Amino acid sequence: MLKLHFAPNSRAGRIVWLLEELQLPYDINKMSFHPKDLKSDEHRARHPLGRVPVLEDGDVSIFESGAIVDYILERHKNGGLKPAVNDPRFPAYLQWFHYCEGMVMPPVNTVVVHTILLPEDRRDATVLGQAQRLLTKALEPVDDALAGKDYLIGDFSGADIMLGHACFMANRIGSVSDGMTNLKAYVARIAARPAFHKAITLA
Ligand SMILES: N[C@@H](CCC(=O)N[C@@H](CS)C(=O)NCC(=O)O)C(=O)O
């Protein structure tokens, strides 16, 4: 049985979302988003930085949300929700899948740190402003790519599990402007998926 190490309001939601979309059975270890759980010796043995998500599957223990999504799709869904290597949509799939952690999440992290996580006297308005501008720039190509499409490569795929979740988070912190109409509609479309709703409301 797959076992997911989870904390609420985190990237672990991506894995719950995927498992729910695929209707795969899984166990869940719910931790609090707090150092007492995440930085415990027990959890550091699973993830050297004490982060989530971590997935266990028999003898396998794997971290990094993108790696986990790909692992599940390859080992447990026979490539479902992922185009085949010779499919014309494969390059776009890879691109948007990796654009999530590569380009969108770094400024999302900085915005969250300087608006929520740090105590007020340690927040830096200059750093925050830079991250917000960078995030807007990073989201513009996603808005463009979604013109005339419901999902990033047309059909719903693992790329949406990654980047769609990041876009939802970016919207939640107020970084998706009303002018990004394709992206706004995309976030609403994702939020309406029952599996996503289950993942995002899991506490
Ligand atoms: N690139 C990693 C990022 C993992 C990560 O930073 N997770 C956050 C939650 S979204 C975390 O565990 N933070 C706890 C901490 O930094 O103490 C992934 O995609 O899994």
| Residue-wise pLDDT tens digits, 50-89 | 999 999 999 999 999 999 999 999 999 988 899 999 999 9
How does pLDDT run across 87-135, given as a tens digit for each residue? Answer: 999 999 999 999 999 999 999 999 999 999 999 999 999 999 999 999 9
CA distance to 72, 79, 124, per residue, from 158 (Å):
10, 10, 35
**Kind of pairing between the strands at 54-57 and 2-6:** antiparallel
Q: Domain residues of the chain, as ranges?
A: 2-81, 90-193
Q: Looking at the whole model, is its pTM more than 0.95?
A: yes
Note whether 114 and 128 are within 8 A (CB). Answer: yes
Same CATH topology for 2-81 and 90-193? Answer: no
Q: CATH assignment of 2-81?
A: 3.40.30.10
Q: Is the CB of 38 under 6 A from ligand 1?
A: yes
CA of 33, closest atom in ligand 1? 14
Nearest-CA residue for atom 13 of ligand 1 = 51
CA–centroid distance, 109 to ligand 1, in Å, is 9
Chosen CATH of 90-193 out of 1.10.12.10, 1.10.150.120, 3.90.600.10, 1.20.1050.10: 1.20.1050.10
Band of the pLDDT at 166, cuts 50, 70, 90?
very high
Predicted pLDDT at 19? 97
- Give the Cα separation of 199 and 73 in Å (integer): 18
The residue to mutate among 40, 52, 163, having the most atoms of ligand 1 within 8 angstroms of its beta carbon, is 52
